[in-house]
Amino acid sequence: MRYRALGRTGLDVSALSFGASSLGGVFRAIEEAQGIEAVHAALEGGMNLIDVSPYYGLTKAETVLGKALRGIERDRYVLATKFGRYGDAEFDFSAARVAHSLDESLARLGVEHIDIFQAHDIEFGDLDQIVQETLPAMQRLKDAGKARFIGITGLPLIVFTEVLERVGDGTIDTVLSYCHYELNDTALLGILPALERRGVGIMNASPLGMGLLSSRGTPDWHPAPERVKRACARAAAHCSQVGADLAKLAIQFSVRESRIPTTLVGTASPRNIQKNLRWIEEPIDEELLAEVRRILEPVHNVTWPSGRP
């Protein structure tokens, strides 16, 4: 496993990390024991960053993860969780909710502190409130030792740059971006210089585009435009025709970008964890990569709306 510095946090995180949304049954129903085994497989394979949220499975993911982490030395993992999003249409970024949410997460996870405490999908909040109320409340929790670092997450990249422009350097330690550094979308590269100048650590999530880049096909709920889904389906079919796996290519592609410290993969299958770990140690098929990127070129960086207008 390769490890990279996460901005100016002083943390070295694994190039491939564990996205614990899967423990909440976000993608499919899971058995708790299997989810716990997947966490252990990730840690044994060298993944040291685990990202979760009370939103995933309506607190189920945090609860299962807490059980998985019992008895494991606290310095073996970097734990990130979130607050602010609690349901598909339930958001609360108020200072009072920030504090209560952290205490609730600490109890479910069975730990005394969170390494990276993140405002979840800030595009659904009022950015004035995020800057003036939410971030100061997070800073107070950081000062109290309940959280080591402060982060923000979301889909539209513009929310990161807008918030960063309104706060002082060092206010935000990390950003978590999803679906913007993968085979069909590399828009995250456009804001890397701004993040790097401020020493912000970057976490990339959903290297498979929440199912876009998979031979299983895109789930019905996926918000991507139909033309993106069709292009990704063509890419998957092309890989199958040559005996390759689009998911493998996608994970290899995301992980090899050294300017992005870590990429999160979400699976509650120990077998898939082990498979992903093998994949990132194998050389990428450059010829296949070029072919797939040509198929996806017409929809490159095509995304979808998220949050407030």
Question: Could you list the active site residues?
Answer: 56
Q: For residue 152, which phi and psi values (nearest 5 degrees)?
A: -130, 150
Where do we find the tokens 């129903």? 29
132 SS3 class: helix
Distance in angstroms between the alpha carbons of the first and the last residue of the chain: 41
**Biggest distance spanned by C-alpha atoms of the chain:** 56
Q: For residue 99, which phi and psi values (nearest 5 degrees)?
A: -65, -45
Cα 172 from Cα 56, distance rounded (Å) = 23
Cα 63 from Cα 109, distance rounded (Å) = 6
> DSSP state, 257?
-
